[in-house]
Amino acid sequence: MAKLTTESPVCRKIVHSFLDFLDSVQVAPGVDEEGLEVAKECMKEAFKITSDSARDYNSKPVSLVSIFTSPVDESSSSSGPDLSNSVDASKEPLFKGTCRDELFGQLFGALEKVRYFNTTPNGDDDPAQLEKATKIFHDAISEMESSGCQKFDAKSLAETFKCQGNKAMQSQQYLEAIELYSFAIALSDENAVFYCNRAAAYTQISMCSEAIKDCLKSIEIDANYSKAYSRLGLAYYAQGKYADAIEKGFKKALELDPHNESVKENIRVAEQKLREEQRQRRNQNTSTGRNQDPGMGGQGIPSQFSMPLNPDMMSMFMNMAGNGGDGNRNGTNEPEIRVGGNINIDLGAADQMPEEFSGALRSMMQMFGGSQEGNNNNPQGTNGAHGRPSGN
């Protein structure tokens, strides 16, 4: 058990109970009563016991007399300490193992180690969290008693927290389940099941990153724990990482548990999702290619352009085009050159043309395109001020 500090809420509770005990004791003749009062004040100062901190516990301090008095001890005389206001000793559990207060101290020490408690501006632990943790502890002890638990120790208490967390999961109280599993982990941080169960609760509230961390910790503790791999797959699936869900989670789980039909079904569903995702990606890529400017060829050249030519240039292009200039007469998809008053060149397959030829055409476009400058202020291929494509 880790050593407690003077600021620990457990230490304060113990000291608070001890001071309450000292206040109930009648000082015998010859005892230095003043020295006893000084000792009490020193304890209050060392452990920061004030009237405000005492009220934070919202209950009477635990009676030390009742703890050290046997439930069957009837030898106490009428002149003994007055126990009328103390906890009924007969109702205390007959512990086999750790006594209640020591177990309580172990839990609070473990919670402080994992920094469960927030601190108030004056440096004290959050009273609300202290009260909540105390209630969770007592609820667990009550369940251990009612279930006939044979041994009361940190391990049994951690198992009880886990069982309570499972019940919270069944009731869809996921935050409560996470807290109970966290209490179990604080007491037993090398239990693969506790981390795996908390991962399931995290996944239910979409805290997938935390779920993945818990699954990986569970696998680190027990590399053959198939359920940890299965829940790792579910966490990745919830993130939309279907490939990771299959390869890092479900397939590993199936290797360890080959007859698990649930895991087989999870693999089938994840593979279907992965195929759909890949199909959508291909469709998006295709759509992106189709959404390029339809008037542009594959090398940034307009697939069809028109420019006026003088007779010499027209003759040159007619010679290039061949008889009639119909390069598409065989129904093929070759680049098309049509000669008229202006020359129209269709480069619909410009991406199939040699780079040298397409580059030359691009240079010619730039060279001759200025012959109409000043005659038409609209962009080539538009009609009027609205920029609509022309009907040519």
pLDDT band at 37 (very low <50, low <70, confident <90, very high): confident
Q: Which residue has the higher pLDDT, 248 or 18?
A: 248
pLDDT at 101: 84
Residue 387 has pLDDT above 60, yes or no: no
pLDDT in tens, 290-304: 655 554 444 444 444
Residues 354-380 as b/e (b if ≥16 CB within 10 A, e otherwise) read: eeeebeebbeeeeebeeeeeeeeeeee
pLDDT in tens, 165-201: 999 999 999 999 999 999 999 999 999 999 999 999 9
pLDDT in tens, 189-240: 999 999 999 999 999 999 999 999 999 999 999 999 999 999 999 999 999 9
**Main-chain dihedrals φ then ψ at residue 289, nearest 5 degrees:** -65, -35
Q: Quick one: residue 123, left, alpha or beta (phi over 0 = left, psi -120 to 50 = alpha)? A: left
| 248 Cβ neighbours under 8 A, 6+ residues apart | 229, 232, 233, 236
pLDDT at 41: 78
Structure tokens at 43: 């304890």
| Least confident range of 55-59, 73-77, 180-184, 267-271 | 73-77
pLDDT band at 149 (very low <50, low <70, confident <90, very high): confident
pLDDT at 299: 44
DSSP 195-236: HHHHHHHHHHTT-HHHHHHHHHHHHHH-TT-HHHHHHHHHHH
Q: How many helices (H) and strands (E) does the chain have?
A: 16, 5
Q: Looking at residue 256, what DSSP letter applies?
A: H
Q: Looking at residue 258, what DSSP letter applies?
A: T
In whole numbers, what is the pLDDT of the chain averaged over residues?
Answer: 73
Residue 319 has pLDDT above 60, yes or no: no
Structure tokens at 357: 């030829």
